[in-house]
Structures are given as structure tokens and as C-alpha cells.
Amino acid sequence: MPELPDVEIYRRVLERHGLNRRIAAVEVLDVGMLADVGPADFARALAGDRLTGTRRHGKNLFARRGRGGHLWMHFGMTGALAPFREDAPAHARILYRFEQGPHLAYVDVRRLGHVGLVEDVEAWLEAEGIGPDALDPALTAERFAEALGRGRRSVKAALMDQARIAGIGNVYADEILFQAGLRPDVPVSALDEEWRRRLFAVMREVLRTAVDCGAAAERYVERLPDDYLTKRREKGARCPRCDTPLETLRIGGRTSFYCPRCQIDPRG
């Protein structure tokens, strides 16, 4: 599932190929991708307009429109934003055609993403109950510690809760916890302030490293550091640090990979 680093890469794709270029036409190939807007209104709103800026918040990508308002894209489980020149890529659902190539395609194999129009980004985020972006400079270690909460919920579930911190999903939650040395099932109530500060710093480092390695690009995992768990998230794999067999847990309906030796429970 595209998480914050992947969507940041798509933001850069949009910025490189879509900004300040007149949109000649929009083709909605799959109306099921649209949220709260019909295909004719969606195409009419964008045709002839220009996208003048980009913003990513968590897993959401916004593009400011010259006429006002924003284009909004969420990538679901398998969505992507891909440039093309002649033939549209496989599984293209929406095409943004400019006066000259390259054009842009919203691609989604499993059709679980959504695209729409948003007037005010801040108001939309508040209405949707989306928390602060994990890489927002305004997110301090203190705000992060508070957002995690103090209850019995597992630390992994808290990290993946978009209402608390926006942008982290299953894969990067596992990586953050591995790099921090915490088991995924530790309740947030067991984390003292030192652990919370550590988790905040590691979260920032992991997400930035993923972006720098080209998250969302084919074979980007090979460019991650050798001690990253993401390179070993498969049945029968061993810890990249101590060679202990990895174990799994089900948390929030998702499979969590962790090392029983390198990741601890602070409660002992």
C-alpha cells in the first residue's frame, strides 16, 4: 500500500510533469475512482486549467488549481501516478492529457484509491479527522509523544492510526519499530518519554531514508540500508542484524514482522 514515502515520490512526479502546464483534457476511464464528483463535472473542472502547486499530507496528494481549489488523489492499496507519452499504462483509471507529452495517468490495479476535488485542504483534513503529517516540520517530539496516547493500544496500531499521525502504514510501521528496537505489540502506556523521543527520531529517519532511496520505484528496496527489515519481510526470513528467525503477529488485521531478539518490551 502506498505510504508517505511512496506518495512523496508521486508528488515529485506530479511536480515534475504536471505543474504549470495547460490540461488539454481529462479522461475518466473508471468512474468508480471518483469521490463526490461526477465524471463530466470532474473533467470540466480541470480541462483548460493548470496545476500550480503540490502538497502531500500523509497518504494524500493535493495539487492546487489555477482556477481555485485542489485536485485530490489517494492511492489506496495499489495506486500510482505515472507519466506516459503515447499509450496509457496498464490499469490506468484517469488520464490527465496536456497539450504536449508527457501526460499523467492515475493507475490503480485493485481499484481501491480515490480521486476528487477539494476546495480547502485544511478544512478537508479536519473534516476527515486526519492527524499531523509524520514529516511536517511543525510536528515536534512533544506533539508526537502526545499523539501516541497513553492507553492499552499497541504502539504499532497507534503509528498506523491516521487520526494520530498521518502517513504510516504496515510496512513502515514495522521498519520504524525494528529500527527503534520495540516489539510491535507493546502498549503505548508502556512507553516513557525517552522511548517516545526515540521513536519520533527513528520515524523521521526511516521515512526520509525511504524517500531518498526512491520509494515507489521498482526495486527501490534494494537501495535501502542492509540492516533494514523491509528487505526481509517474508516468511522464513532472518533478522538482518542478528540472523534470528523473524516472527510475525497480527495487529489491526495486518501481519507484523519483528525480531524477537532485537526488539524488546520495555516492561521486561
- Catalytic residues, by residue number, are 2-3, 59, 254
Alpha carbon of residue 189 to chain centroid:
26
Smallest CA-to-CA distance from 176 within 157, 189, 194 is with: 157
At position 234, the amino acid (one-letter code) is E
Alpha carbon of residue 266 to chain centroid:
29
CB 171 within 8 A of CB 179: no
**Partner residues linked to 72 by β-bridges:** 62, 116
CA 249/CA 265 separation, integer angstroms: 14
- Sign of the Cα torsion 176, 181, 187, 188 reads negative
CA 154/CA 265 separation, integer angstroms: 11
Smallest CA-to-CA distance from 106 within 41, 46, 52, 166 is with: 46
Residue 208 phi/psi, 5° resolution? -70, -35
CA 208/CA 176 separation, integer angstroms: 11
Helix (H) or strand (E) holding 5: helix 4-18
Radius of gyration (Cα) for the chain, nearest Å?
Answer: 20
